[in-house]
Amino acid sequence: MMCVSWLLMSNLADRVLLSVLGVGVSLYALRVEVRRERDPQYRAACDFSDRFSCSRALCSPYGKGFGIVSILVGKDHFLNQRNCTLGILFYLSQIVLAFLPNQVLWSCVLYYTSVIAGLGCVYLAFILFFVLRDICIVCIATYVINAALIYLNYNFYLDKRLSQ
């Protein structure tokens, strides 16, 4: 039994397209963070007001290690990486895993890693809206991309499991 497992073209093409888009959004977020660190007066293109600001969200304490890693291992520990750096690694891994042999195994890995990323998005969305009281279009774009990847990876996982 096959289910509708794509959004635009095919499941694989959609997953790769969304992952490339995710890398692009994450690279833009990295650019905003680095520019803002160098120049606190820098105003990113996605900064529309005090409450509609991506740089405010991205440069907050929650922008590195989800605001949790620094508490556990320290602010300067190598594990305390920018969230956008983790996003770049996540999206690149989604692309690489999509083309590896043994699709049954990798479909499971793709699905569960996207679910973990989705849980991270739920946490960060809560922080964004209720703690920071901000609207970050860059952040919201990654939430939408991750939700679509969960959908696609779930359908890919189901298709591989049902075809066994």
Q: According to DSSP H, which parts of 44-136 are helical?
A: 54-58, 69-73, 83-98, 103-126
Q: How confident is the model at residue 10 (pLDDT cuts 50, 70, 90)?
A: confident
Residue 102 pLDDT: 86
pLDDT value of position 6: 65
The CATH number of the structural domain formed by 11-162 is: 1.20.1440.130
Give, for 48, the enclosing helix (H) or strand (E).
strand 47-49
Place of tokens 């105003």: 43
Q: What is the pLDDT of residue 1?
A: 43
Where is 53: in which H helix or E strand? Answer: strand 52-53
pLDDT the model gives residue 14 = 94
DSSP state of 62: G
Question: What are the angstrom distances between the C-alpha of 23 and each of 17, 138, 139?
Answer: 10, 12, 13
The Cα 120–Cα 62 span in angstroms is 11
Specify whether the CB–CB gap between 35 and 42 falls below 8 A. yes
Kindly report, residue by residue over 53-95, the tens digit of the pLDDT: 999 999 999 999 999 999 999 999 999 999 999 999 999 999 9
Q: What is the pLDDT of residue 23?
A: 98
Domain extent listing, the chain:
11-162
d(CA 158, CA 61) in angstroms, rounded, equals 38
Predicted local confidence at residue 3, as pLDDT: 54
The DSSP letter of residue 64 is B
